[in-house]
Structure 1
Amino acid sequence: MVKRFPIIETGRLILREVTSTDSTNMLTYLSDEMVMKHMGLVPFQTEDDVLDEISWYQSIFEEGTGIRWGITLKESSEVIGSCGFLNRLSKHHRADVGYELSKEYWGRGIASEALEAVVMYGFQHFQLERIQALIEPNNLPSQKLVEKIGFEREGLLRHYEFTCGKFDDLIMYSILKENLDLI
């Protein structure tokens, strides 16, 4: 059975499946050092790098371990970022959430609008009880973003990931289904 990729619509955005035709637009932000700084990845160099990322998006969707929506403005089909779940564990009703947005669109409330819609979707359609976000300690804008939506800081995970040749500390944030009234 082929699963249909869900589309989420908000006031200004359409969150949709990304395809290989989006690779050029995605390379614009995935090659930007400022965007990639806190993602644990080196900036992408080629469209092939982006196509590998798109393949990963497709594989986590097909496996049921995650989903990543491309963020587009309603007036344009251009993908300007992405937001979605990874490490989804249906048995435990939890998933990690992640996101990135082209620097050109920072400060406009777009990431907040997309994240809020994805969180709501996760609670309503995936029967999640807990959604968590792992954020580098010096990524203050991302911490403010999740706090604005109602996530609570739980603690520091020391040397939690090994990325780009170094161990990274990450702060664990979470929101529970019972906190939906905060959104």
Structure 2
Amino acid sequence: MNTFPIIETERLILREATCKDADDMYSYLSDKEVVKHMGLEPYQTSTDVLEEINWYQSIRKEGTGIRWGITLKGKDVVIGSCGFLNMQPRHYRTEIGFELSKLYWGKGIAKEALNAVMSYGYKHFELERIEALIEPLNSASQRLVEKQGFTKEGILRHYEYTCGKFDDLYMYSMLKAEFELG
């Protein structure tokens, strides 16, 4: 497998999350407010976070996704992640997902990371469409993708079964031409 791509923005370094980052990631993945719209229960130990990191590595190896750890420039501490999952190269589309430590909410960091990852996807994976599936109660993520220029297409009823319940998800999308115009 080729070298993991590093993305640099004005304030951020997006890089591979490794086992060494488990404690940093535990600090936000154990927070019920951070994970409540991710279909996950809060992690109980930093060792449990290794499952999440292993998933990041497996989707990259399988070619079905890639997930970057979000760090602030000058501080090599993972404060969130952003990346692609359920990639469909044949159809030039993917889903995007993201989460961020509550300590950094409202500072434009998720927007900066999302924009950089989308730019990378359109350029390097030659994507035509990026989708965001968001729970109806997750108004913060809805506002974020809407500000980025995503279009809300509709609701996918009982689309996922997580944490012992069926979840509806809003389907948002952005086409490459819309991103380039934005």
Matched residue, 1:76:
75
Q: Tell me the equivalent position of 2:99.
A: 100
Q: Distance in 1 between matches of 2:52 and 2:175?
A: 29
Assess if the C-alpha contact under 8 Å between 1:136 and 1:168 holds in 2.
yes
- Hey, what does 2:120 align to over in structure 1? 121
Pair 1:41-2:40 in alignment: yes
Deviation by residue 1:42-66 (Cα, 9 ceiling, x = unmatched): 0011122111110110011111100
1:57-68 alignment, distance < 5 Å: 57-68=56-67
2:23 aligned partner: 24
- Cα distance in structure 1, aligned partners of 2:179 and 2:163: 36
Deviation at 1:161, TM superposition (A): 0.4
**Corresponding position of 1:88:** 87
Secondary structure (helix, strand or coil) at the match of 1:43 reads coil
Can you give the 5+ residue segments of structure 2 that lack an aligned partner in the other structure?
none
Counterpart CA distance in 2 for 1:181 and 1:16 is 24
For the pair 1:134 / 2:127, whether they are aligned, the reply is no
- Aligned counterparts of 2:167 and 2:64: Cα–Cα separation in 1: 23
Amino acid aligned to 2:129? R
- Measured after TM superposition, the shift of residue 181 of structure 1 is 3.0
Correspondence list, 1:161-180, <5 A: 161-180=160-179
Q: Deviations over 1:11-58 (max 9, x none)?
A: 000000011000000000000000001000100111221111101100
Q: Gaps (5+ residues) in structure 1?
A: none
Give the aligned length: 182
Question: Separation in 2 of the partners of 1:9 and 1:171?
Answer: 30
Q: Give distance in 2, aligned partners of 1:3 and 1:64.
A: 12
Aligned residue in 2 for 1:7: 6
CA distance in 2, matches of 1:74, 1:23: 19
User: Residues of 2 paired with 1:57 and 1:14: CA distance?
Assistant: 17
Question: Residue deviations 1:119-170, cap 9 Å, x none?
Answer: 1110000011000000000111100000111110000111000000000000
Instruction: Return the offset for 1:3.
Output: 1.5
CA RMSD of aligned residues (A): 0.7
Question: TM-score with structure 1 length normalisation?
Answer: 0.98
Structure 1 segments of 4 or more deviating over 4 A? none
Seq. identity, %: 66
Report deviation, 1:75.
1.8
The whole-number CA distance in structure 2 between the counterparts of 1:182 and 1:110 is 22
Q: Secondary structure of the residue that 1:113 maps to in structure 2?
A: helix
Deviation at 1:182, TM superposition (A): 4.1
The one-letter amino acid of 2:116's match is A
